Structure 1
Amino acid sequence: MAERKLFLGRRLRRLRAELGLNQSAMATEIGVSPSYLNHLERNQRPVTAQVLLKLAETYDVDLKSFAAAGGEGTGTDQLGEIFADPMFSGLAVPRYELVEVADNAPGVADAVSRLYAALVELRRQPAVGADEEERAPLAPQNWVRDHIQAERNHFPYLEEAAETLAGALGDPLALAEPLRRRLKDGFGVEARIVPPEVLDGASQHYDLHRKRLMLSSLLRPESRTFGLAYQLALMEFRPLLQKMVEAAGPSDGPTRRLLHMSLANYAAGAIMMPYEPFLEAAERHRYDIDRLCAEFGASVEQVAHRLTTLARSSAPGIPFFMLRVDAAGNVSKRFAGAAFPFSRFGGTCPRWNLHSAFQTPGRVLTQIVETPDGQRFFTIARTVERSVRLDPREDSALAIGLGCDVRHAPKIAYADGLDREAPLVTPIGPACTICPRVRCPQRAAPPVGQTLTVQETRKTVSPFPFLGG
């Protein structure tokens, strides 16, 4: 597979600005001409391995984070998805212009993305009251998701605090009792298991006046432990959590509360699976999820989520991304420690075997997928159960997709047996409306801005043939 070209103009300019250098000075220090550096900064030339090594040698740059694709704002693919919306029909914005905006005006790109996310939310919500222009408040999940992703789903201060607390609590396999005692002795909180009817559909509830934490009896043991860790994180790390929320600057109350809850959830996972022991075990077991579940008393979903957070600069793990979908394809979780190759505003590609996991419950499915820009990812898919199922007749299955750049596959137990010389690769794409794949038998919509070539005398594999197909 050909190496992917790295266009890092924005990051080069930012590094130069942080160092207080002009182009001539930086060019001299890294041994290139000022005109060549100008081409690199304008993304007219890809950054070579020699230039990257010189940057690392001269300025002590962390090559992995500097050259990482993604996690730094709105990229070209995301802008392409936005401008594929029918309201932009007729503009036909070429890809090179989107590249220019994403790389040379990242603030503008992020602003466009936030505006479009707000528009998507407005479209989803019905008008309320007599005034058709009056609408319900916007959902805060997009803002929180963007903030978490901007931090690459890694929060060092929470990691350190959780690691210290976990060390004081002891063995992760017997964590529930120390957590319960810490809540009782440190904060006067009594934890109880109660029938689901008492909680009226909730999985857990903290009674502030009686200082009582009630956990549903329907919760599995690992979810009860997580519930205890979550409540302890809210209390033990309250000043830190409040400081982090203030620094993030959410725009309204619901967004503040959702961010606060999300950070507490992150801390709960870090308490159950403290960074250094978890990373050591992950590498020792070659990222075998079931072995990690057994060692830390955690669920498959908890372990999968934790794997996406291993971005400590001094001890990084494999940069995984993770999605959770239901049987209808609705995405309810997206986390990424590095590049996230799927649609932000739409669903996932039907050619990814994440959707096939529902047909083989509990079984691990593996696949190598290739995105339209040539990047290849090794992926794992399997079903999980919801933490609480109130109605025994309903299907509680969800599917988890976990993936990383294919170059990390040799470190993963699930990749054993793959033909490394000639692997079976499945081409996938983003949302159908922006996917450039031709001859795709599972295309559900024509790509926006492409000329259809439908002929009544000819039927093609794709129901929407277009020029180039």
Structure 2
Amino acid sequence: MDDSRKLFVGPRLKRLRRDLNLSQAGMAEELGLSPSYLNLMERNQRPITAQVLIRLADTYSLDPREFATDDTERTASELEEIFADPLFRSTPVPRLELRETVEAAPGLIDAVSRLYRAYVALRGAREARPPEVSDRDRAEDAPQDNPVDRVRHLIQEAKNYFPELDEAAEALASDLQVTGHEPFFAIAERLRAKHGIRVRVMPVDVMSDSLRRYDHHRRQLLISEMVDPPGRTFQAAYQLAFTEMRQSIDDLSARLEPTDGPARRLLRVSLGNYFAGALMMPYGRFHTAAEALGYDVEVLCARFGASFEQVAHRLTTLARPGARGIPFFLVRVDSAGNVSKRFSSGRFPFSQYGGTCPLWNLHATFKSPGQIVTQIVELPDMSRWFSVARAVRRASTAWGTPDPQFAVGLGCELKYAHRLVYARGLDLSAPDPTPIGINCRLCERVACPQRAAPPLMHALIVDEMRRGVSPFEFDPA
């Protein structure tokens, strides 16, 4: 076997052993290996073999595919993005060094990522405060870590898959299906009969500033009439999550985020949303349907009474051992390009901290609401991806009020595209991908007419006598 196909998982193997509170001799004995051989594997001086992977899976109830998944590239890309910040302009770090550090010191990398997120939060707070406020007050008032970024990181670390919530939602969905009611009415009846909570759809003038509100005193769940049927089902399912699954959600949140604060509360909301989606689209039935339908999002919408965004989000959670779906990523942007959702069950090819590339046709969907567009794209690292995108609306709005619209992009590595209904008829063996970047400050493509900023790691070239295709020209060397 050539080196490119060998799998070195030393740091991950060492973390597993420490999590199990085992010595090298103890783990080696349980796996039927010599301590010296285990030591070599932990130091990446020997690759892990298929036989050892199988023994690990059998001995410690692991999914060998999950253990064998190489996250080094994803983590190295995140770290490369961090070190592209102008803060590090005078001390560039080669990608090879970043990759070596990821493999050798994963705990250190996690600490660096958290420190950078705290720095970004502090910088944002500094820019938002008026100039007369002292630097000390800015620092004291700033959050230590942006709760939104922190929760995104925690969800990504879990591969956007929470088996205890999925299993509970699947069992509850089976109970609700027995009633024979449509999901919304079945959930509403469950809330009324078992918990004494009445679900009411209220006029927009009563719910002028809310889509959903729970009245603790009257034990009523109020949902705005402007929320469409899939949204009403989702909001009722969310309430059921916090009525029947509160302890499980609290325990899981505390385990993932030990520090009580905004991040843990936001994580609870995210887990409640996860349960709601899992209740509407129970794992087994949804995964089977997705595979049979070629991941046709709109047919899945009709079958499960869900919206395009709800189905797309659910597709990023299909990571159950033995019943995995395609490892999708999801991005949601508004018309200004602000990213408000990022989820992935595998590699995430785009920026963790900035926007996206305007050459990605995700942004073109605003011109044709309701129409699905597809695209094969190629990133600067030569990786190729297949994306499906559509513009969506969160809820109906009254005349004279803002009508927020978003574009949802769902994508996967090109090697999975043959399983998608959207790729039928395409020659995937000889595609013609659109070259795009991660975002402008990290993109090194020259002569891009859409470039909004020069790349941070290259010197800007200014020629007063020439105007190129791109407003920012740079030395690519």
Q: What is the TM-score with the length of structure 2 in the denominator?
A: 0.87
User: Using the alignment, how far apart are the partners of 2:448 and 2:69 within structure 1?
Assistant: 30
Superposed counterparts of 1:330-345, under 5 Å: 330-345=338-353
Report which stretch shifted further, 13-22 or 254-263: 13-22
Structure 1 residues 35 and 292: CA distance shift in structure 2, 3 A: closer
Indicate whether 1:283 and 2:291 are aligned: yes
Partner of 1:101: 101
2:214 to 206, 209, 218: 206
Of the three residues 358, 376, 384, the one matched with 2:384 is: 376
| Within-5 A mapping of 1:66-465 | 66-70=67-71, 75-125=75-125, 126-127=128-129, 130-135=133-138, 136-138=141-143, 139-170=146-177, 174-392=182-400, 394-456=402-464, 459-465=467-473
1:232 offset after TM fit, Å?
A: 0.8
Q: CA deviation at 1:371?
A: 2.1
The answer to whether the Cα contact below 8 Å between 1:348 and 1:431 also exists between their aligned partners in 2 is: yes
Answer whether contact 1:173 1:296 (CA < 8 A) is retained. Answer: no
Alpha-carbon distance in 1 for matches of 2:248, 2:14: 33
Asked if structure 1 preserves the Cα contact closer than 8 Å seen for 2:363 and 2:407, the reply is yes
Name the structure, 1 or 2, with higher relative contact order (CA <8 Å, separation 6+). 1
Q: Distance in 1 between the 2:288 and 2:13 partners?
A: 34
1:41 and 2:38 equivalent?
Answer: no
Give RMSD over aligned pairs. 3.1
8 Å CA contact 2:332–2:341 kept in 1: the answer is yes
Between the aligned partners of 2:55 and 2:166, the Cα distance in structure 1 is 30
Q: Which amino acid aligns with 2:95?
A: R
Structure 2 runs not aligned, ≥5 long: none
Separation (CA, whole Å) in 1 of partners of 2:24 and 2:37: 12
Contact 2:24 2:39 in 1 (8 A): no
Asked whether 1:56 is paired with 2:56, we answer no
| 3-state SS in 1 of match to 2:78 | helix
The answer on whether the counterparts of 1:194 and 1:217 sit within 8 Å (CA) in structure 2 is yes
How far off is 1:112 after superposition?
A: 1.4
Against the structure 1 CA distance between its residues 39 and 272, is the aligned structure 2 distance closer, same or farther, given a 3 Å change threshold? closer
Farther-moved stretch of structure 1 (9-18 vs 234-243): 9-18
> Which amino acid letter does the alignment assign opposite residue 100 of structure 1?
E
User: Residue by residue, what CA displacement relative to the aligned partner does 1:376-431 show, whole Å, maximum 9, x if unpaired?
Assistant: 21111111111353555534321000011111111110111111221111222222
8 Å CA contact 1:12–1:41 kept in 2: the answer is no
The 1:35–1:443 alpha-carbon spacing in structure 2 relative to 1, beyond 3 Å, is farther
Distance 1:358 1:239 in 2: 41
User: CA contact under 8 A between 2:458 and 2:476: conserved in structure 1?
Assistant: no
Q: Are the equivalent residues in 2 in contact too, given 1:203–1:388 (CA < 8 A)?
A: no
Moved more, 427-436 or 154-163: 427-436
Counterpart residue type for residue 50 of structure 2: L
CA distance in 2, matches of 1:337, 1:187: 34
Q: What is the identity, as a one-letter code, of the residue corresponding to 1:140?
A: P
Do 2:332 and 2:408's aligned partners in 1 also have CA atoms closer than 8 Å? yes
SS in 1 for 2:441: coil
| Percent sequence identity over aligned pairs | 47
**Matched letter for residue 91 of structure 1:** T
**2: CA distance between counterparts of 1:437 and 1:457?**
22
Cα distance in 2 for partners of 1:387, 1:175 equals 19
In the alignment, the residues of structure 2 paired with residue 397 and residue 385 of structure 1 have an alpha-carbon distance, to the nearest angstrom, of 5
Change (3 A) 1:30 1:383: farther
Counterpart CA distance in 1 for 2:192 and 2:42 is 62
Alignment gaps of 5+ in structure 1? none
Deviation at 1:9, TM superposition (A): 4.9
Number of matched pairs? 456
Q: Distance in 2 between matches of 1:174 and 1:348?
A: 39
- Alpha-carbon deviation of 1:332? 0.4
Deviations 1:413-459 (A, max 9, x none): 01111112211112222222222333433222222232334445655
SS of the residue 2:474 aligns to: coil
The one-letter code of the counterpart of 1:107 is G
- The amino acid across from 1:75 in the alignment is T
**Partner SS state of residue 201, structure 2:** strand
* Preserved contact between residue 13 and residue 41 of structure 1 (Cα < 8 Å): no
How far apart in 2 are the matches of 1:16 and 1:65?
16
Q: Distance in 2 between matches of 1:85 and 1:78?
A: 12
Provide the secondary structure at the position in 2 that maps to 1:429. Answer: coil
3-state secondary structure, aligned to 1:334: strand
Relative to structure 1, the CA distance from residue 7 to residue 388 in structure 2 (aligned partners, 3 Å threshold; closer, same or farther) is farther
Report deviation, 1:88: 1.6
Q: Which amino acid aligns with 1:56?
A: L
- The CA deviation at 1:178 is 1.1
Closer/same/farther in 2, CA of residues 227 and 56 from structure 1, 3 Å limit: same
Residue by residue over 1:56-103, the C-alpha shift from the partner in whole angstroms, topping out at 9 and shown as x without a partner, is 345447453234344x89711111111111122211222222222222
8 Å CA contact 2:444–2:476 kept in 1: the answer is: no
Contact 1:69-1:339 within 8 A present in 2 as well: no
What is the alpha-carbon distance in structure 2 between the residues aligned to residue 52 and residue 457 of structure 1? 61
What secondary structure is seen at the aligned counterpart in 2 of 1:354?
A: helix
- So what's the TM-score if we normalise by structure 1? 0.88
Contact 1:127 1:133 in 2 (8 A): no
Query: What is the distance in 2 between the residues matched to 1:173 and 1:400?
Result: 30
1:133 alignment partner, SS class: helix
